[in-house]
Structure 1
Amino acid sequence: MNSINLVGNISSDIDIRALNDGKFVAKFDIAVTNPYKHEKTSFLPVECWGRVAENTSNFCKKGSKVSVSGYVEVDQWQNDQGQNRYKTKIVADKIGFLTPKSSGGQQQQQQNNQNQHDPFANNGQPVNISDQDLPF
C-alpha cells in the first residue's frame, strides 16, 4: 500500500499552473521535522491537482502549516548523458489548512491589546512597585 500522511510548513512559494485541458497543478515544498531527531528537518516536494491545487494556492502561502495526505511517486528519466535520473515526490489527494485565518498581523495586534490591559504582562522584566502600593 502506498499511502503517506505528513504535517509540516510550506517552505517554498506555491507554483500553480493551468493546463491546456483546464485542470490546475500546484507544486511546493513542505518542511517536516523528524519525530525522533527534532533537529533534523526534511524538505519534500509536493504536487496536487484540480480543486486541491486551486484551494491550496488560494488559502495557503509560504510558512502555512498544512497536513498532506496522498502517495509517493517516483519520476524516472534519462539525462543528456544517458544516465538514469530519479525524483521522488508526494502527490497529495487532500491538504488540510492548519494555519488559522486570523494569524499574522491581526493576532499580533490582539496580543498587544491584551498586554495593554494586563498589568502583569511585563515580558519577564522586574516590576517597579513600592511597598506602599501593596495591599498587605
Structure 2
Amino acid sequence: MNKVILIGNLTKDPELRYTPNGVAVCTFTIAVNRRVNGENQADFIGIVAWQKTADLCATYLRKGRQAAIEGRIQTRSYDNKEGKKVYVTEVVAENVQFIGGRTGDEGPSNKGTDSFGDPFVNSGTPINISDDVLPF
C-alpha cells in the first residue's frame, strides 16, 4: 500500500502549469515538522496536484498557509541539461485540506470548498518559515 498523510506549511506560493493537452498541474513544497532528540526539525516535501485539485490549490494556497495532504509517494527521473540522470521523489496529492491561513493574507476568502466540493473554514496557527532555511 502506498499512502501518505502530511500536515505542513507551504514554503512558497504554488506554481500552476498546464500540460500540452490542457490538464492543470500544480506543484508546491510543504515544510513538515519532526522531533529529533527533543528538537524540532523540518523536512521539505514536494507535492504535485492534478486537474481540479491543482486549480483549487493554486487558488486557495499561499506561502505560509497550512495544508493537510493525502496522497501517494511517486519517484521519477529525468536527464538534466548536463545529461545527468536526476531522481525526484514527491507526493502526488489525491486530497488536500486547507486547514490554516496567515494573518493579513490577501488570497481568496478563508471559506471555500475542498477537493471533493465539501465546505471548509480555514483555522489554525502557521509556523514561521524563513526563506534562509529553505533548501532552494
Q: Same fold by TM-score, threshold 0.5 exceeded?
A: yes
Q: Look up the equivalent residue of 1:43 and give its one-letter code.
A: F
Q: Which 10-residue stretch deviates more, 70-79 or 24-33?
A: 70-79
Corresponding residue for 1:72?
A: 73
**Aligned-partner Cα distance in 2 for 1:50–1:81:** 32
**CA deviation profile, 1:20-55 (whole Å, cap 9, x unmatched):** 322210000000001455421011110000110101
**Aligned-partner Cα distance in 2 for 1:75–1:38:** 32
Q: Which 10-residue stretch deviates more, 72-81 or 36-45?
A: 72-81
Distance 1:97 1:85, change over 3 A: same
Offset of residue 18 of structure 1: 2.3
Corresponding residue for 2:26?
A: 26
Offset of residue 67 of structure 1: 0.1
Identify, as 1 or 2, the structure richer in strand. 2
Corresponding residue for 1:123?
A: none
Q: Which runs of 5+ in 1 are unaligned?
A: 107-136
Corresponding residue for 1:104?
A: 103
Corresponding residue for 1:57?
A: 58
Identify, as 1 or 2, the structure richer in helix. 1
Distance 1:38 1:47, change over 3 A: farther
Equivalenced residues, count: 104
**Aligned-partner Cα distance in 2 for 1:25–1:43:** 19
**Aligned-partner Cα distance in 2 for 1:48–1:25:** 6
1:1-136 to structure 2, matched below 5 A, reads 1-36=1-36, 38-79=39-80, 83-99=84-100, 104-105=103-104
| TM-score, reference length from structure 1 | 0.67
Offset of residue 83 of structure 1: 4.5
Q: Which runs of 5+ in 2 are unaligned?
A: 106-136
State the percentage of identical aligned residues: 26
Q: Look up the equivalent residue of 2:58 and give its one-letter code.
A: S
| TM-score, reference length from structure 2 | 0.67
Q: Look up the equivalent residue of 1:104 and give its one-letter code.
A: T
Offset of residue 66 of structure 1: 0.2
